[in-house]
Amino acid sequence: MSPRLDVPVLHGSSVRLEPLAMRHAPDLARAAEEDRSSYGFTLVPRATEIEDYLAAQFARVDEGLTPFAQVRVRDGMAVGCTAFWDPRTWPDRQDLRAVEVGWTWLAASAQGAGINLEAKLLLFTHAFETLGVARVDLKTDARNERSRRAIERLGACFEGVLRSWSPSWAPGEAGMLRDSAMFSVIAAEWPTVKAALHTRLTPVSGG
């Protein structure tokens, strides 16, 4: 069993990351039914599937998932999800050495508004400065150029493509494996990455 992470609500100026709960279901159902054209490689439920999706996320907690609702501060609406995933400890020690940030999706109306950027800043900050990890992983379908560019803009380092690594979420590929593009930020890079993220957020927050 993977270690469970006890993460509080993470507060930003445009987004608040709340532990995922069934009370978020109505908002997420609406969020998921906005323009879905950017979800070709991403697991995003339909409105009718939200309760089953949440139940599946809760069931993954014992596998190492720490899921959050991304709540837009200006109106208090849950507009997507994200998570810590795959926490790994040091050999013969209980403290963490690495964790992944993933299971991320946002409503179309919340994309390009600084919410994803600030959510990643909140998650990275907690991972490096509270959990004390040595690295944060990110991965995406190797075919998802949009997601790869977004991850690179966060300051993460591209590490290569692992073939047939993860379940595919692309339409028509149920039960198949995808190639995953792998990225990371390590502790030595975190101060530089953090400063760059703050710089990128300043005009967004001030707009």
Query: Per CATH, the architecture of 10-206 is what?
Result: 3-Layer(aba) Sandwich (3.40)
Could you tell me where the beta strands, DSSP code E, fall in the chain? 10-11, 15-19, 66-72, 77-89, 96-106, 135-141, 157-167, 177-186
pLDDT at 48 over 50: yes
pLDDT score at 2: 73
pTM of the model: 0.93
CB 82 within 8 A of CB 104: yes
Task: At 89, list the tokens.
Answer: 């400890």
pLDDT at 203 over 80: no
Give the residue-averaged pLDDT of 112-118.
92
Q: Where do the structural domains in the chain lie, given as residue ranges? A: 10-206
For residue 189, which amino acid is it?
E
Under the banding of pLDDT at 50, 70 and 90, the label for residue 207 is very low
Q: Give the three-state DSSP class for 200.
A: helix
In the chain, count of helices (H) and strands (E)?
5, 8
| Per-residue pLDDT tens over the stretch 9-18 | 999 999 999 9
Give the residue-averaged pLDDT of 69-90.
96
| C-beta neighbour count of 91 within 10 angstroms | 6
pLDDT at 206 over 70: no
pLDDT score at 205: 52
141-180: burial string, b at 16+ Cβ within 10 Å, e else? bbebeebbebbeebbbeeeeeeeeeeebbbeeeeeeebeb
Give the residue-averaged pLDDT of 48-55.
96
Give the residue-averaged pLDDT of 118-125.
98
Give the residue-averaged pLDDT of 30-52.
93
